[in-house]
Structure 1
Amino acid sequence: MPPKKELPAKERALFKRLIQEYETKKYKLGLKTADAILKKFPEAGETLCMKGLILATMEQRAEGLELARKGVRHDIGSFLAWHALGILQRMDKNWNEAVKCYSMALRIEGGSNVNLMREISYLHMQLRNYPAFVESRLNLLKVQPHLRMNWVALATAHHLAGSLEQAVRVLERYEETLRDVPARSYEHSEVLLYHASILFEAARYADMLEFFSAREAQTMDPQGVALLRARAYLATGASEKAEMTYETLLKRNGEDRSVVEGWLSAKGVKAVSATPEEAAAAAKALTELSELLPKSAAARRVALVYLQGDEFRSRVATYIQSALQKGVPSIFADVYGLYKDDEKRRVVEEIVEGFREEWAPSESAADQEEPSSYLWSLYFLAQHYSKLGNTDRALVLISSAIAHSPTMPELHMMRARILKRAGDLHAAAHAMEDARTLDGQDRFLNCKAAKYQLRIGRTAEASKIVGLFTKADAPDPVADLLEMQAFWYLAEEADAWIRTGNFAMALKRLDQIDRTFDEIYDDQLDFHSYCMRKFTLRSYASMVRWEDQLRSHPAYFRAALTTIKLYTRLHDEPALAKGGSNGTNGELTDEQRKEAKKAKRAELRAAEDAKKNAAKPKVEAKKADDDELPGPPKDEDPTGSKRLAALNKPLVAATSLLAVLQERAATRVETWLATFEVASRQRNWLLAARALTHAQRLEPQHPEVHRQTVLLLSSLPDLAAAPAPVRAGIETAKAQLLPQEQSLEALSSTYVQAHPASGAHLLGGARALLALRGDAGRADALAMLQQLPRAETQLELPTLVEALGLLPSFGADDAARAEFVKAAHERFPRADAFKDKALLQEEEKQREEERAAWAASKDEAEGAAEAGSAPTQK
């Protein structure tokens, strides 16, 4: 390694000042100082690296990184140059390169720089390189054995690496070195509880109980101790002690359902009862618990799962009545889980209908119930009938509730939800706007209104609504929502852009969701050091394991699945990507094209406003140099067209997403269905067959599983020339997917006959028939589709909407489509998907007239009130 290059004395003094200016965040002065040195010594490596570090801090990352690399080349033997380059690589989230730079800096320094050793250990943890992490923490402990943090950090490293016994040994040795521990020390308490949790994780239950018996007085989390102890008692078969401990916990908090389930296990009762005898035993035990804890709503609610007959009717009536009289809006969501049992659903309906009739306003009633009880019974029943698909009854009830209390936003929200479930999205958005205007300062109501606007394709209006609660200085509302990681908005807007055909903007929003998950994962870097300093060891271990499963989050699964579907569509129809630059892809309706143009104009206007504001001279007082922080980075692709243009191989991009889903969402059938779609297009028949066998094991009767099975077995090429392992794998999959004695025609016919009344399965059978016979099967498949809207078919609205979109691929002409739409409209009369343009416009006009009339009557009433309160003029 060549020696470090030294500067003359004057420049060395300037360089020390440069470091001081960087550390005190005086970046502009630092740049001037660096330029003063580089003017005389343009190849001063350390100065180049420091200048690059300052530029990167001022959001000039690319230029700063290039300068730092140049500085390392000029002064490769400088510890500081490698350290600065490592910091820049870490800023760019390039963890592997940062480790290399830090390691080189440590090697030059002599291997004793504690700060560098600590930083390298955190980077190893970020990369989940556990062997290197353990080694780096061990080296730190050898250098600084007097620091408690180094002991617990080594124990944590062994624990997360899976070496539980090693972690226990380190903690035992650490505890032996302690002297004069204060009586109430949070740090020591946390170490003890962490030690006990590792013993429990290692299944050393007896050792854990013995450990607590000697040290419980030193712990400061009695609930954590009791939980660990109760679980250990349960694991060792000490049911009586476990029951007593769980009862202690329930007396502290009787609403923790996990503790209630633990108490049931201690009583020998199964949480999921398979027989009537087990259900009766659970009901008896929970009755006993309710008597022990009369204020515990959790005990009463869990008991309803197991009770039957008259006992259930009595208990559920008391439970619901109490909630309705107290005005608990969430009571329906609470009891909806009981609807899995049709008899219990019927009993709940009878009970609440009885309450509604009993509490209805009446002039003759002497002891009339509170009006609010009647209102909440209407609210409950509206949700009940909406869930059951009885939209008309639900709307009647919610209208009665609104007539009773017209200024309550929750009622208008429920009306919007009922209309949304019925498919009347425009009326639902209108109703949600009514709810929003009743309380314009409620952020939740505004967000719901924005979501409903997105569902009818009005992205500009949705952005305007959410903009009421975003930063005023943000380039646009969506940029602030992205900073707040508002997955719901990004996902809904992506779906809205897909519906309007703007795939460029849809891909942009979906990519932003993916990058946000990257940011969440990267943000844990700071906690590797923070949690060690603060001794929050149990929370730290939970956080690391949660981060490992981060991409199993529902928001990521939804976004990834939507992206994969979009990639496959772009692969099938490359022409759709050509319109990405103008924001409209595919054939759009006039309304969709209008909304897309409006949204684009709003985005361009926001960008222009931001540019004008940036160009305006600063009139405020000059800020201090250390207060000047870089602004938000400029959006280089506001319309998403660059991202779409760069997508040359959609299936390759989809494969990387599928790899994550296969690891984090392997139990979801959608993962394997999407894998099949990509693999079949790549003609990777072995992967397609294996994906299909996975899907069949999860949901063998899923409509898409049946369609893909027929598609695979009818599309397989001759396998004689395939490699033996590939041929054997596909043959094994074929044997699992199709019995030897059955043909594909018989398989398709048997599948439809097995589900004669299911709309989803009928659609799957029609698509399978089309895949099997091709053009020759279009007539029969179309005839099956035409049966979907019939009254006796059990189907949901999305299934019928999907079938409507598939009609062209089945060869349906205008007459066949009109017949289908007419039958579907009779089945779902409120659904927008089955209304013609004239009807939609007429309904929209009627809603606007009603709102205008309401606003006029409101203004008139306010004017009359003001006139009545004004003083009389003589």
Structure 2
Amino acid sequence: MPPKRAALPTKERALFQRLIQEYETKKYKLGLKTADTILKKFPEHGETVAMKGLLLGSTNRREEGIELAKKGVRFDLTSFICWHALGILHRQDKNFEEALKCYTQALRIEGGGNINLLRESAFLQLQLRNYPPMVENRLTLLRMQPHLRINWIGLAVAHHLAGSLDAAVRVLEGYENVMRDIPDRNYEHGEVLLYHASILEEQAKFQESLDLIEASSPRIVDLKGKMEAKARCHAGLGEKDAAESIWRQLIASNPENKRYFAGLLSLLGITTETADQAQAVEVFRGLQADHPKSTAAKRLALIYASGDEFATQATAYVKSALVKGVPSLFSDLKSLYQDSAKQAALEQIVETLRLEWAPASSAPADGTEPPTSYLWALYYLAQHYSLTGDSARALHYIDSAIAHSSTLPELHMVRARVLKRAGDLLGASAAMTDARLLDGQDRFLNSKAAKYLLRTNDTVEAERIVGLFTKPDAPSPTYDLNEMQALWYLAEEAEAFLRTGNLAMALKRLGQLERTFQEFWDDQLDFHSYCMRKMTLRSYVNLVRFEDGLRSHPAFVRAASVALGIYTTLYDKPDTPAFVETKTDEEDPALAGLSEAEKKKAIKKARQAEAKRAAKAEQEAADKKKKAEEAAANGEVVDDDGPKPDPDPKGLDLFKSVHEAPLEQAAKWLRFLQANAASSEETWMGAFEVAIRQKNWLLATRALVALHKLHPAHPELVHMVVRLKTRLPDLSAAPKPIGSVIASALETIVPADKPASVVFTEALQSGSATPEEVLGNARAALALDRTDEAVQILLSLPKTISPATQPRALNRALKTTTVARDLLATIAPNSTAEFDAAAGKTFPLANAFMSTSQLEERQKTTKVAQQAWSSAPVEEEANGHQPLL
């Protein structure tokens, strides 16, 4: 039986009311004194104990406050104040599930009439996407306060997000009937009207939406939004002339907005798949004539044009950009390379212009072409040949450009990218460092240099570089980057730590990245009330729907794939160390020339100084925390209580916790991937790896079938089928539903009676032999315990990459060959020299296939080349030509 609530005497009851007022007015210090006064006489008064916990939680003593609030609930289970206080603390701690439970219990005790509890519960239900009870709460709020427009809007949005569009429309109609005295040009009301129209449009009720917009036109402030909605409605009704007129008006108002062009093209039935070239050309000629300065009209025309028309328009577009010196031209046109004919045409156009502008040729009579045009042509071609796989030619062009203008950072950045694609990560990092040093105040260049350093596993130097632009008072640059939610840095450093065998720090960085995405999700809570007040309803609904698929972001999928690889490795090899000790023969320069006794004395002195610094930092942190608590207790706003010390700086505690149950940790990542990134191949490959280790044959089969549906010719399918068939137990002994489901699912990929060895043999005998397929076959051989055969298959992989291989395929082949080399090193280390010799012929610049001596020679060559770029005379200048820049 719960303890019976003790009624406070009159004096203490007045003190309790004052306690609540002191909390609401943020007089936390006074509130704590008042609470202690009551608790001296009534130490088991639950509501006072809970309120004291709430006060402590508001003064940066969250854990102590939650414990006291729980204690208060135990003292008085029938008090809504106790449950509400505990719910507030859980919400502050971002434990939304527990907070909602507390609010629900408080509402049940209170009788469901507390407006604050109802409103807060509705926000939490929306945060948790628990729509049915949210609709009920919003309806209750509207019945209690029908005069507040936010209650009408809240109910409409609740119905909309829950999928009840008709109910949302009825609520908005009721709102518009009630709110009659709103003046024209009121922004908030205009947004509600457009939101109403957007729901009708979502229901395909285009005429009703159009009528609403027309009737409410004087009240709508967002004129562009209104015109776009009208154009879509006219198009939905088949009124093409009216819709076309509106789209053309919008284009005239902003001829660089590609969304307006897309609306017009969709209306005219012009798409990349079904477009009539003659019609598309005619439309764009008209648009270019109407808007001669529109870059968007010229660029979009290249998507639909082909043949001679494409060559004509592309020549004009490319020439204009090169003359102006637009560095982003290649990034702009790169999407056109999916069409091989357009790729070849662009190559020919720029090569022709390069020859025309070459310094050795005679200058134009009118002198209209500036000398920098030739430089930007080289710049474009270097990127072009790098993307298409011709690294040698790309390096030739970019080196020529650097010889003419070695002080342009963009040139060194492209050289770094060329070397990276060719596999020369050390050279790429050196080139990006050259770019950084040309403009040391450019944060982007420094970040790129740090990224390339991380690709070479130099985490120390990378952290120093990014530290140039982080807060000077931060404990470390990485701490500040984590606070700034720099996803790229966390992912790159995690992979760098993984390559060097430091699994503990790799897991720590991946955990920080995952928490960043959790923060993205948690931050929604503030927008639920803000967007309702500001009436930015269309953007708000888009935000909620975006957050629903938040973890389909490529950065999260990438991190999840790496994390799953670490977890499966720890499961397969439980004795894997947290990190690999790396000893260096380099001596600290400060100890050079000292005797052994002097070295020991210097080291001891350094350790003592470090201990003093640590103690001082710890004392400063304690003093800062105390001041923050005092400020919060006095009701003062505390903007920042300073960085908290990292309890696990090397990730060892995290590694130990993960090491105990790696597959359970992997399942947490997989739940997010399966819910948000079901269309990603990495999701199902990771699900298969985890399921087959858990002997969850049904989930493994499901993952295999899902991957087959996404990519029926995926090179890993043979390997996965062989592994599943070799480990799958007798299905006839399995429970009837499970056995039959697995058998029928596998039938969609391979006949049930076909042995794994036959599947493997057929894969070897198939006509195609891309590097990816060869790697998959080698893994299948390992699954059949045919190690020798797997070694021979891996050794044959470089031979599948011939000079006739499509240039763009070479970039993918390099990654596959590097992975194959790592696999070979684990099963047959003595064969890596033969593999490196064969792979080095195809990828002569790739560091992965170089010996230590070759890498050292490569670094020396890079340094010599760098000196030549900065000091050697330019050849054209020696022959009497003027420098380009």
TM over 0.5: yes
Return the letter of the residue paired with 2:714: H
Task: Determine what percentage of the aligned residue pairs are the same residue.
Answer: 52
Partners of 2:185 and 2:221 within 8 A in 1: yes
2:480 aligned with 1:476: no
Corresponding position of 1:729: 741
CA distance 1:765–1:110, change in 2 (3 Å) = closer
User: Distance in 1 between the 2:502 and 2:626 partners?
Assistant: 44
Aligned partners of 1:835, 1:519: CA distance in 2, in Å?
43
Identify which of 752, 759, 768 aligns with 2:771.
759
Alignment of 1:558 with 2:558, yes or no, is yes
Alignment match, 1:150: 151
CA distance in 1 between counterparts of 2:662 and 2:610 reads 31
Deviation at 1:757, TM superposition (A): 5.2
| Residue 773 of structure 1: how far off its partner (Å) | 5.7
> Does 1:293 find its partner at 2:304?
no
2:828 aligns with 812
By how many angstroms is 1:545 displaced? 1.0
Which one is further off, 475-484 or 288-297? Answer: 288-297
Letter in 1 for 2:653: K
Q: Which moves more between the two structures, 413-422 or 839-848?
A: 839-848
* 1:425-469 superposed Cα distances (whole Å, 9 cap, x missing partner): 111111111111221221111111111111111111111211222
Query: 2:190 matched to 1:192?
Result: no
Q: Which residue of 1 aligns with 2:281?
A: 283
Q: Deviations over 1:628-681 (max 9, x none)?
A: 553333322111111111122212222232222122111122211221111122
Instruction: Name the SS for the 2:678 alignment partner.
Output: coil
Deviations 1:187-236 (A, max 9, x none): 11011001000101111111111222211222111221222222222222
- Structure 1 range deviating more: 694-703 or 247-256: 247-256
| Letter matched to residue 422 of structure 2 | A
Structure 1 residue aligned with 2:357: 359
What's 2:437 paired with? 437
**2:594 — aligned with what?**
none
Q: 1:847 to 1:35 in 2, by over 3 A?
A: farther
Asked whether the equivalents of residues 233 and 239 of structure 1 are also in contact (C-alpha less than 8 Å), the reply is yes
Higher relative contact order (CA 8 A, sep 6+): 2
Distance 2:115 2:513 in 1: 38
1:49–1:81 contact (8 Å) kept in structure 2: yes
Q: C-alpha offsets along residues 775-819 of structure 1, whole Å, 9 cap, x if unaligned?
A: 46346534533634654566421111011011145x5352x3211
Distance in 1 (CA, whole Å) between partners of 2:497 and 2:784 is 33
Give the deviation of 1:762 after TM superposition: 2.1
Mapped contact 2:395–2:418 kept (Cα < 8 A): yes
1:296 and 1:675 map into 2 onto residues whose CA distance is 48
The 8 Å contact of residues 551 and 676 in structure 2, kept in 1 or not, is answered as yes
Alignment RMSD, CA only?
Answer: 3.2
Distance in 1, matches of 2:252 and 2:609, equals 60
Structure 2 residue aligned with 1:803, among 820, 843, 854?
820
Deviation of 1:820 (Å): 1.0
- How far the C-alpha of 1:856 sits from its partner, in A, is 11
444-453 or 472-481, which deviates more = 472-481
Is 15-24 or 604-613 further displaced after alignment? 604-613
Q: Does 1:135 align with 2:151?
A: no
Q: Is the 8 A contact 1:246 1:263 kept in 2?
A: yes
**Equivalent-residue separation in structure 2 for 1:95 and 1:230 (angstroms):** 42
Q: How many residues align?
A: 839
Q: Give, in angstroms, the shift of residue 33 of structure 1.
A: 5.0
| Corresponding residue of 2:647 | 636
2:853 corresponds to which of 834, 838, 849: 838
Give, in angstroms, the shift of residue 28 of structure 1: 4.9
CA distance in 2, matches of 1:7, 1:232: 65
Q: Which residue of 2 aligns with 1:716?
A: 728
1:584 aligns with 2:588: no
Which is further off, 530-539 or 748-757? Answer: 748-757
Matched residues in 1 for 2:24 and 2:706: separation? 55
Does 1:450 pair with 2:450?
Answer: yes
When residues 777 and 791 of structure 1 are mapped into structure 2, their CA distance, relative to the original with a 3 A threshold, is: same
Is 1:660 matched with 2:677? no
- Hey, what does 2:329 align to over in structure 1? 331
Q: Do the aligned partners of residues 195 and 100 (structure 1) sit closer, same or farther apart at CA in structure 2, a change above 3 Å counting?
A: same
* 1:76 CA drift (Å): 3.9
2:717 maps to a residue whose letter is V
2:61 aligned with 1:46: no
The offset of 1:12, in angstroms, is 5.7
Residue in structure 1 matching 2:347, options 342, 346, 349: 349
Between 1:395-404 and 1:621-630, the stretch displaced more is: 621-630
1:66 paired with 2:62, answer no
Q: Which amino acid aligns with 1:529?
A: S
The 10-residue stretch of structure 1 (626-635 or 55-64) with the greater mean CA deviation from structure 2: 626-635
* Separation of aligned partners in 1, 2:609 and 2:340: 55
Q: Tell whether the 8 Å contact from 1:767 to 1:781 is kept in structure 2 after alignment.
A: no
Q: Which residue matches 1:231?
A: 232
- TM-superposed CA distance for 1:421, in Å, is 1.0
Q: 1:371-770 to 2 correspondence within 5 Å?
A: 371-576=371-576, 579-580=577-578, 583-584=579-580, 612-616=616-620, 626=636, 630-647=641-658, 648-739=660-751, 747-752=759-764, 754=766, 756=768, 758-770=770-782
Question: Are 2:256 and 2:296, in contact at CA under 8 Å, matched by a contact in 1?
Answer: yes
- The 3 A distance-change label for structure 1 pair 141 and 379 is same
What SS does structure 1 have at the residue aligned with 2:748? helix
- Corresponding residue SS for 1:717: coil
Find the aligned partners of 1:606 and 1:164 in 2 and give their Cα distance. 65
Instruction: Give the SS at the match of 2:575.
Output: helix
Q: 1:872 — aligned with what?
A: none
1: distance between equivalents of 2:389 and 2:611? Answer: 45
Per-residue CA distance 1:473-531 (angstroms, 9 max, x = gap) = 22222121111111111111110111011111111111111111111111111111111
Q: Is the 8 A contact 1:755 1:761 kept in 2?
A: no
Q: Counterparts of 2:858 and 2:6 in 1: how far apart (Å)?
A: 79
- Asked if the contact 2:743–2:752 (Cα under 8 Å) also holds between the matched residues in 1, the reply is no
Letter of the 2:406 counterpart: P
Q: Cα offset for 1:51? A: 2.8
Structure 2 residue runs without a partner (length 5+): 589-605, 874-885
Which amino acid letter does the alignment assign opposite residue 859 of structure 2? E
Post-superposition Cα deviations, 1:286-332, rounded to whole Å, max 9, x if no partner, equal 33332333233222222212222222111100011111112211111
Q: Give the AA of the match of 1:636.
A: P
CA distance in structure 1 between the aligned counterparts of 2:506 and 2:52, rounded to whole angstroms:
39
The structural deviation recorded for 1:162 is 0.8
Aligned equivalents of 1:857 and 1:610: distance in 2?
Answer: 50
SS at match of 2:733: coil
List per-residue Cα deviations over 1:100-136 (Å, max 9, x = no partner). Answer: 3223434444543322221111111112111111111
The amino acid of 2:471's aligned partner reads: K
Q: What is the CA–CA distance in structure 1 between the aligned matches of 2:16 and 2:78, rounded to whole Å?
A: 17
CA distance in 1, matches of 2:867, 2:26: 57
Structure 1 residue 746: deviation in Å? 5.4
Counterpart of 1:864 in structure 2 is none
Range with bigger deviation, 52-61 or 510-519 = 52-61
1:320 paired residue among 311, 318, 321: 318
Query: Are the equivalent residues in 1 in contact too, given 2:771–2:797 (CA < 8 A)?
Result: no
TM-score normalized by the length of structure 1: 0.89
Q: 334-343 or 159-168: which moved more?
A: 334-343
Q: Which runs of 5+ in 1 are unaligned?
A: 595-601, 859-874
Q: Match of 1:863? A: none
Q: Deviations over 1:529-565 (max 9, x none)?
A: 1111111111111111111111111111111121112
Which residue is 2:599 aligned to? Answer: none
Using the TM superposition, give the Cα deviation of residue 265 of structure 1 relative to its aligned residue in structure 2, in angstroms. Answer: 2.4
SS at match of 2:695: coil
Aligned letter for 1:632? P
Aligned residue in 1 for 2:58: 57
Once residues 290 and 507 of structure 2 are traced to their aligned partners in structure 1, the CA distance between those partners, rounded to angstroms, is: 56
CA distance in 2, matches of 1:100, 1:702: 46
Which moves more between the two structures, 256-265 or 64-73?
Answer: 256-265
Letter in 2 for 1:143: M
Which amino acid letter does the alignment assign opposite residue 815 of structure 2?
P
2:169–2:196 Cα contact (<8 Å) kept: yes
**1:249 alignment partner in structure 2:** 250
Distance 2:627 2:195 in 1: 51
What are the superposed Cα offsets for residues 593-625 of structure 1, whole Å, 9 maximum, x if unpaired?
A: x9xxxxxxx9x9999856533425979998965
Instruction: Give SS of 2:824's match.
Output: helix
Contact 2:497 2:503 in 1 (8 A): yes
Query: Is residue 191–residue 537 contact of structure 1 (8 Å, CA) maintained in 2?
Result: yes
